[in-house]
Amino acid sequence: MNNVIDFINTNRDRYVGELKEYLAIPSISALPQHSGDVRRCAEWTAEEMRRVGLQNVRLIETPGNPVVYGDWLGAPGAPTILFYGHYDVQPVDPVDLWESPPFEATIRDGEIYARGAADDKGQVFMHFKALEAHLKQNGRLPVNIKIMLEGEEEVGSAHLDDFVRRHKNELAADVVVISDSPMFERGIPSICYGLRGLVYFQIDLRGTKTDLHSGSFGGAVANPAFVLAQVLAQMKDRGGRVKIPGFYDDVKPLSEQERAEFKRLPFNETKYKKDLGAPRLFGETGYSTLERVWGRPTFEVNGLLSGFTGEGAKTVIPAVAMAKVSMRLVPNQDPDRIARLFEEHVKKAAPKTVEVKVTRMHGGKPWMTEFDNPFVQAAGRAIQKGFGQRPVFTREGGSIPVVSTFQEELSLPSVLFGVGLPDENAHAPNEKLDLGNFHNGIIASAYLYEEIASA
Ligand code: BES
Ligand code: ZN
């Protein structure tokens, strides 16, 4: 193993140069004008997988963006890892808030800034380099590995469940490994054992067939912008509790043991608030911040659009109003059931004075695993070796929809070992990855394969 670690230490600078190349491809899955870049990124990913020594590397077409697949299966009798990640990234707007261009990776204060640096290209690349070190130094890996990278994670993985079902046999493995989440805190690596689920909607209201002069018509018709505000106000109360009837029916309560464990984590609420620039924190009454984000569901407004929003004033009653909203879910809430309850609640909340259209968009199921499984323990040892520090166990508020699919369709446990940071600015301007964590992450990944081999 020493020769593998030496190789990683010697090649440290080369890795950063290569990562910059990867981060230069604007693989934004949400924007149709970037579909060529998404494909180019899939091809670059495949080329890189071939360069590091993986076999059977190919793009597998789906009705959407291709899955990049590759494997190395030369360790008969050893466990097989299914590695999952994504090569697509989020849009970059508001682009003028970036301090350096999002697709020209720039290093400042030991962090590499670019869209995808943390979510998820940088973390995928870390595993490529760990695999390369093993393969270049020893000509073999201690485990078998199947790598499956998708290009639609940031838009809800619409075609992935079907892909997993169709390729059940090819994807057979013993454990899933994913690095697509932040660590608990700078200097405190973590293993994540739970993710929230998601249901996402667009609500469209129409009041009249066209915009109206607010003097001639104000008072005679409903204003869809105002009605939208009233509808949204009926989704959550002032105590942060979702008001959709039945919403909490299937929520698995946080156990006293889990609450005690969360409390033991070195979470600094004052710093958290300051880092976010929030005048005050807000969430469901009766729960701590970590409990709210990790273990409780929520309703959020993701975007609002209506009427005149330019400079100056315009006296108008908008014809339409639109909101994007979503709910983060926890075990054992079912996205389909929650979607039904939400639609019913919107229909009841909206008056007859407007036409209402509710469109369901993407989503995914919540996920949670037991962390006494031997692979999680193996990951803990690997992280300790890579970071010189034992990991803490965390849940996360974000979603990776395919994780529950791996559980349900392939009966596979997942180990989520992420090296991002809470202030990595994922989905926001100035996304970044700490290069020290990137390097330690490569070492930890290299150990992970060895530890899993002996788990
Ligand atoms: N990397 C994130 C998931 C994540 C975020 C895990 C924070 C843990 C903590 C992932 O790329 C992501 O953003 N997923 C989307 C999924 C959605 C589009 C279905 C999310 O959570 O919004
Ligand atoms: Zn991600």
| CATH number of the domain to which 333 belongs | 3.30.70.360
What total number of domains does the chain contain? 2
CA distance 255 to 417: 24
CA of residue 275 to ligand 1 center, whole Å: 20
Q: 11 and 80 in one domain? A: yes
Question: Is residue 280 situated within a structural domain?
Answer: no
Q: Judge contact between 135 and 74, C-beta under 8 A.
A: no
Q: 375 and 342 in one domain? A: no
Ligand 1: which of 29, 368, 400 to mutate, judged by most atoms within 8 Å of the beta carbon?
400
Active site residue 170: no
Question: Is residue 434 situated within a structural domain?
Answer: yes
Ligand 1 atom 7 nearest Cα: 398
pLDDT for res 373: 87
146's CB contacts (< 8 A; 6+ apart) are 69, 70, 71, 73, 80, 81, 82, 83, 170, 171, 173
Q: What is the CATH number of the domain that holds 101?
A: 3.40.630.10
CA of residue 140 to ligand 1 center, whole Å: 33
Residues whose beta carbon lies within 6 Å of some atom of ligand 1: 119-120, 153-154, 156, 180-182, 198, 362, 364, 396, 398-401
Ligand 1 atom 13 nearest Cα: 154
Q: 385 and 356 in one domain? A: no
Ligand 1: which of 28, 88, 153, 195 to mutate, judged by most atoms within 8 Å of the beta carbon?
153
Q: Per the residue annotation, which of 37, 88, 291, 431 is the catalytic one?
A: 88
Q: What is the pLDDT of residues 151-194, one digit of tens each?
A: 999 998 999 999 999 999 999 999 999 999 999 999 999 999 99
Q: 334 and 208 in one domain? A: yes
Q: 130 and 9 in one domain? A: yes
CA of residue 400 to ligand 1 center, whole Å: 5
Final residue before a domain boundary, out of 363, 394, 417: 363
The order of strands in the sheet holding 355-364 is 298-306, 320-329, 197-206, 355-364
Final residue before a domain boundary, out of 363, 385, 405: 363
Active site residue 153: yes
CA distance 35 to 52: 26
Q: Judge contact between 396 and 182, C-beta under 8 A.
A: yes
Q: List the pLDDT tens digit at each of the 455 positions of the chain.
A: 899 999 999 999 999 999 999 999 999 999 999 999 999 999 999 999 999 999 999 999 999 999 999 999 999 999 999 999 999 999 999 999 999 999 999 999 999 999 999 999 999 999 999 999 999 999 999 999 999 999 999 998 999 999 999 999 999 999 999 999 999 999 999 999 999 999 999 999 999 999 999 999 999 999 999 999 999 999 999 999 999 999 999 999 999 999 999 999 999 999 999 999 999 999 999 999 999 999 999 999 999 999 999 999 999 999 999 999 999 999 999 999 999 999 999 999 999 999 999 999 989 999 999 877 899 999 999 999 999 999 999 999 999 999 999 999 999 999 999 999 999 999 999 999 999 999 999 999 999 999 999 98
Q: What is the DSSP string of 296-336?
A: S-EEEEEEEEES--SSS---EE-SEEEEEEEEEE-TT--HH
Phi and psi (nearest 5°) for 60?
Answer: -110, 120
Q: Judge contact between 41 and 167, C-beta under 8 A.
A: no
What residues make up the domain containing 225? 197-251+297-363
Q: Which two tokens stand for residue 315?
A: 């006296």
Task: Point out the ligand 1 atom lying closest to the alpha carbon of residue 198.
Answer: 19
Q: 43 and 20 in one domain? A: yes
Tell me how far apart the 2 most distant CA atoms of the chain are, in Å: 80
CA distance 330 to 335: 10
CA of residue 64 to ligand 1 center, whole Å: 19
pLDDT for res 18: 98
Question: Is residue 359 situated within a structural domain?
Answer: yes
Q: Per the residue annotation, which of 120, 153, 396, 451 is the catalytic one?
A: 153
Question: Is residue 287 situated within a structural domain?
Answer: no
Task: Point out the ligand 1 atom lying closest to the alpha carbon of residue 180.
Answer: 1
Question: Is residue 305 situated within a structural domain?
Answer: yes
Q: Judge contact between 398 and 427, C-beta under 8 A.
A: no
Question: Is residue 291 situated within a structural domain?
Answer: no
Q: 380 and 350 in one domain? A: no
CA of residue 325 to ligand 2 center, whole Å: 20
Question: Is residue 207 situated within a structural domain?
Answer: yes
Ligand 1 atom 17 nearest Cα: 156
Q: Which two tokens stand for residue 426?
A: 């994922």
Task: Point out the ligand 1 atom lying closest to the alpha carbon of residue 397.
Answer: 9
Q: 140 and 18 in one domain? A: yes
Looking at residue 82, what DSSP letter applies?
E
Q: 34 and 91 in one domain? A: yes
CA of residue 237 to ligand 2 center, whole Å: 31
Q: 136 and 14 in one domain? A: yes
Q: 210 and 94 in one domain? A: no
Final residue before a domain boundary, out of 307, 335, 363: 363
pLDDT for res 307: 98
Ligand 1: which of 86, 154, 160, 419 to mutate, judged by most atoms within 8 Å of the beta carbon?
154
User: Which residues line ion ligand 2, judged by CB < 5 Å?
Assistant: 119-120, 180
Q: Which two tokens stand for residue 4?
A: 């593998």
CA distance 417 to 85: 12
For residue 288, CA distances in Å to 233, 238, 284, 393, 432 come to 23, 16, 8, 17, 28
CA of residue 119 to ligand 2 center, whole Å: 4
In the chain the first and final C-alpha atoms are separated, in Å, by 17
Q: 41 and 132 in one domain? A: yes
Which ligand has the minimum distance to the alpha carbon of residue 195? 1
Q: Judge contact between 354 and 234, C-beta under 8 A.
A: no
Q: Which two tokens stand for residue 405?
A: 């699919």
Using N-to-C axis directions, what is the helix angle for 121-138 and 12-23, rounded to 10°? Answer: 140
Question: Is residue 63 situated within a structural domain?
Answer: yes
pLDDT for res 370: 82
pLDDT for res 128: 98
